[in-house]
Amino acid sequence: MARDYYGILGVGSDAGPDEIKRAYRRLARELHPDVNPDGAAQERFAEVSAAYEVLSDPEKRRIVDLGGDPLGNGAAGAAGGDPFSAFGLGDIMDAFFGGGAAGGRTRGPRSRVQPGADALIRMQLTLEECATGVTRDLAVDTAVLCAECTGSGAAPGSRPTRCDICGGRGEVQSVQRSFLGQVVTSRPCPNCRGFGEVIPEPCQQCGGDGRVRSRRTVGVRIPAGVADGMRVRLAHQGEVGSGGGPAGDLYVEVDEVPHEVFTRDGADLHCTVQLPMTAAALGTTLELPTLAGSEELHIEPGTQTGTVRTLRGKGMPRLRSTGRVEGQGDLMVHVDVVVPTRLDKEQADLLRKLAQLRGEEQPDLGMGNRNGHGLFSRLRDSFGGR
């Protein structure tokens, strides 16, 4: 059964935090090992310390008020403790050499109050929303505390009673004879499912579970600089545990929608600008849209395909693991020179005249060129040819 933490400290169930602290200090001064070296006093000091730890924590105290034990085996197992910690050496010896229900050690009933599971919900955000951060109200469908029984699982006016099958131990034992002697095995009580108590009149609202499913609205603030797959944690907003146990956490995962202009690489952004060959040859100035507004981009004369211009500080906010924004990323502008594929007669004549003026009627392939600086010669040099 759950320990009487109020009785250990000698206070009532309605005691306030100050009264609980005074009771603990009084007992601690009396039972501290430095003052009272007696072994029984040391055990009592450990019990008093555990009781103060539970009753000074509002969440653990709520579990006690609901009839659970936050330091019991059930809570420890749910928190990820050693699954074999409940089996002492006496249990193993009793299993092989007997001991029976009178002398054997038992694990005791498990708490009906269990911590709740975490919940996950995904939120779609545009690149602009990821850059500025947003605050939204989310509709969340999770298990919540039953308002009818406030987590106890029993109908109003009733309460759980001790199991008649296991006598409140939460387990039943069977004894079998073998060549090693008596073998004692324990298993959870099938009548109370290991809780040590049964609910004769379950709550009609939750069916005895202490929780119901409900849709509620939760506000969430997404910080600036988040990226696809990042999660924002909302403490104690997840699933309420069975028996009215403490709620888990709610995680909001960012699902970033692809942008039609920019691609993202961490805090840096990339985009491609297509330039007519005349603008690339003569140079020009473009009005480039960024996340912070329009920005002038100067294109130098003779700009080639593959040129990358960097606009410092025009990318995404740099969100650190501490949750703080430190600086901005950059915007990388990739230039793609577009060569026309269809020319009318006038345009073709103008280009031929330009080619004549530049001496480019025929491509210079490096053949017969006394300087050897044509296309083929450059390719040969790049491969280390002679």
* 149 annotated to a ligand binding site: yes
* 271 annotated to a ligand binding site: no
What's the alpha-carbon Rg for the chain, to the nearest Å? 37
CA distances from 286 to 273, 299, 335 (A): 10, 8, 12
What backbone torsions phi and psi does residue 144 show, to the nearest 5 degrees? Answer: -125, 165
Please state the three-class secondary structure of 174-234 as a single string.
Answer: EEEEECCEEEEEEEECCCCCCCCEECCCECCCCCCCCEEEEEEEEEEEECCCCCCCCEEEE
Q: Is 92 helix (H, G, I), strand (E, B) or coil?
A: helix
| Residue 333 burial by Cβ neighbours in a 10 Å radius (0-12, 13-18, 19+) | buried
How many Cβ atoms from other residues are within 10 Å of residue 316's Cβ? 25
DSSP conformation letters of 290-316: ETTEEEEEEEPTT--TT-EEEETT-S-
8 A C-beta contact, residue 239 and residue 248: yes
Distance of alpha carbon 72 from alpha carbon 58, whole angstroms: 17
The answer to whether the Cα torsion of 161, 162, 165, 171 is positive or negative is positive
* 130 annotated to a ligand binding site: no
- Residue 347 token pair: 């345009």
8 A C-beta contact, residue 72 and residue 194: no
| HSE (side-chain half, CA atoms, 13 Å) at 89 | 0
* 189 annotated to a ligand binding site: yes
Residue numbering of the annotated binding site: 146, 149, 163, 166, 189, 192, 203, 206
Residue numbering of the annotated binding site for Zn(2+): 146, 149, 163, 166, 189, 192, 203, 206
